[in-house]
Amino acid sequence: MSVTFDELTAGYRRELLAHCYRMTGSFQDAEDLVQETYLRAWRAFDRFEGRSSLRVWLYKIATMATLTALQARGRRPLPSGLMAPTDAAGARADLAAATVPGVPWLEPAPDAVLVNPDDDPAAQVAAREGIRLAFVAALQYLPPRQRAVLVLRDVLLLSAAETAEVLDTTAVAVNSALRRARAGLAAHRPDPDELLDPDGAAARDLVRRYVSAFERADVDALVRTLRADAALEMPPTPVWYSGRDAVAEFLAARVLGQPGHWLMEPVGANGQAALVARVNRAGSTPVHGLQVLTLTATGVRRIVAFNDPLLAAPFSRAPLASRP
């Protein structure tokens, strides 16, 4: 009995989607590119001779499609990649005056799609590390081909020969590009900290306290969940805040409102703890945005609030009922 194209290739869809997301910084673009990859692969499948593995062949198609797409697109930054932070004195600034039209911002990606719950714990940890916001944001600084080399070699662990096959180049060129890519990534990657496992007890407790403080509009309790060097970013708003005092002042002045104004639903995004934020209105709880949290043993280090209901809605598992 012959095996169909779909049966042979279906198992690679999740990892190809993660690959295209790392390369582009856009989950929507990644979905489109994976669709294009499978269409190209299906059309060429009768010419696949098996000289490389099916996995490497699919990555070649996906990577080439992505590199072509990136020729017409700029990098996707976070606000911290465009401008200096605003301190506590500027926490009441007019955000409407600080816009950067036409910026293709970095987008979040759902763990439910990119992390396989059936994988062993070590594989799940590796999958999460490969899609963390800070890592994907740092990748955006690299030229696309260097980005591809680094992801193929250091994330997917392809050999230099396999990477050369994917990119139609030589192993020598791959190793040279990898050295440049690692140096470029090191210049933009944040200092490493011991991040909490988002499924661990310490992370769940920290998220619980953060959610409770946010929903109760309790600034003092919220401050106790933040590190002294906490930062807040809110794409598509380019203004961002650095330091616990600045973050707390902005949230108190412009965001929290009255107790019960917000409902926060824990989800998973970019291998990190995340929250779908809903506005609690009479009779409805519309989605407002998605907060992705960077958690450490000493508190929340970074909040990236994607204030776009279209980006946040796919993360919500179910509608929330209003709570008192």
Q: Of 47-51, 111-115, 211-215, where does the model show the most confidence?
A: 211-215
In this structure, the answer to whether residues 123 and 210 fall within a common structural domain is no
Which of 143, 162, 188 delimits the end of a domain?
188
Q: What is the pTM of this model?
A: 0.91
In this structure, the answer to whether residues 230 and 138 fall within a common structural domain is no
Task: Evaluate if residue 50 carries a pLDDT over 60.
Answer: yes
Which of 188, 212, 245 delimits the end of a domain?
188
In this structure, the answer to whether residues 143 and 257 fall within a common structural domain is no
318 falls in which pLDDT band (50, 70, 90)? very low
Measured CA to CA, the distance from residue 16 to residue 11 in angstroms comes to: 10
In this structure, the answer to whether residues 228 and 266 fall within a common structural domain is yes
Beta bridge mates, 162? none
Residue 234 belongs to a domain with what CATH number?
3.10.450.50
Is 286 a member of any domain? Answer: yes
Backbone angles phi, psi at 100, to 5 degrees: -125, 90
Task: Evaluate if residue 1 carries a pLDDT over 50.
Answer: no
Measured CA to CA, the distance from residue 57 to residue 144 in angstroms comes to: 19
Among the listed residues 111, 140, 126, 125, the one whose alpha carbon sits nearest the alpha carbon of residue 235: 140
Task: Evaluate if residue 183 carries a pLDDT over 50.
Answer: yes
- Hunting for tokens 């070590």 — which residue is that? 122
Whether residue 110 has a cis bond before it, omega within 30° of 0: no
Range of the domain at 227: 201-315
Is 321 a member of any domain? Answer: no
Query: What mean pLDDT comes out for the span 98-110?
Result: 84
Beta bridge mates, 242? 231
321 falls in which pLDDT band (50, 70, 90)? very low
Query: What is the predicted pLDDT for the residue at 94?
Result: 54
Q: What residues contact 267, with CB distance under 8 A and at least 6 apart? A: 110, 111, 112, 274, 275, 276, 290, 315, 316, 317
pLDDT tens digit string along 120-149?
988 998 999 999 999 999 999 999 999 999
In this structure, the answer to whether residues 245 and 131 fall within a common structural domain is no
Please report, to the nearest 10 degrees, the dihedral formed by the alpha carbons of residues 140, 144, 147, 151 taken in order.
Answer: 110
Task: Evaluate if residue 227 carries a pLDDT over 50.
Answer: yes
Is 216 a member of any domain? Answer: yes
In this structure, the answer to whether residues 172 and 288 fall within a common structural domain is no
Which of 166, 188, 210 delimits the end of a domain?
188
In this structure, the answer to whether residues 49 and 163 fall within a common structural domain is yes
In this structure, the answer to whether residues 181 and 211 fall within a common structural domain is no
How many domains is the chain built from?
Answer: 2
In this structure, the answer to whether residues 142 and 243 fall within a common structural domain is no
Query: What mean pLDDT comes out for the span 46-71?
Result: 92
Mean pLDDT of the chain: 90
User: Residue 190: CA atoms inside 13 Å, Cβ hemisphere, count?
Assistant: 17
Of the chain, the percentage scoring pLDDT greater than 70 comes to: 91
Is 293 a member of any domain? Answer: yes
Query: What is the predicted pLDDT for the residue at 181?
Result: 97
In this structure, the answer to whether residues 242 and 140 fall within a common structural domain is no
User: Residue 267: CA atoms inside 13 Å, Cβ hemisphere, count?
Assistant: 28
Query: What mean pLDDT comes out for the span 217-232?
Result: 97
Are 13 and 35 within 8 A, CB to CB?
A: no
Task: Evaluate if residue 239 carries a pLDDT over 50.
Answer: yes
Is 11 a member of any domain? Answer: yes
Are 106 and 140 within 8 A, CB to CB?
A: yes
Is 61 a member of any domain? Answer: yes
Residue 154 belongs to a domain with what CATH number?
1.20.140.160
Is 82 a member of any domain? Answer: no
Range in 78-92, 177-191, 213-227 with the lowest mean pLDDT: 78-92
Angle between the N-to-C axes of helices 171-188 and 160-167, in degrees from 0 to 180, rounded to the nearest 10: 90
In this structure, the answer to whether residues 221 and 299 fall within a common structural domain is yes
In this structure, the answer to whether residues 27 and 123 fall within a common structural domain is yes
Q: Which residue has the higher pLDDT, 9 or 49?
A: 9
Is 10 a member of any domain? Answer: yes
Query: What mean pLDDT comes out for the span 68-92?
Result: 82
Measured CA to CA, the distance from residue 65 to residue 29 in angstroms comes to: 11
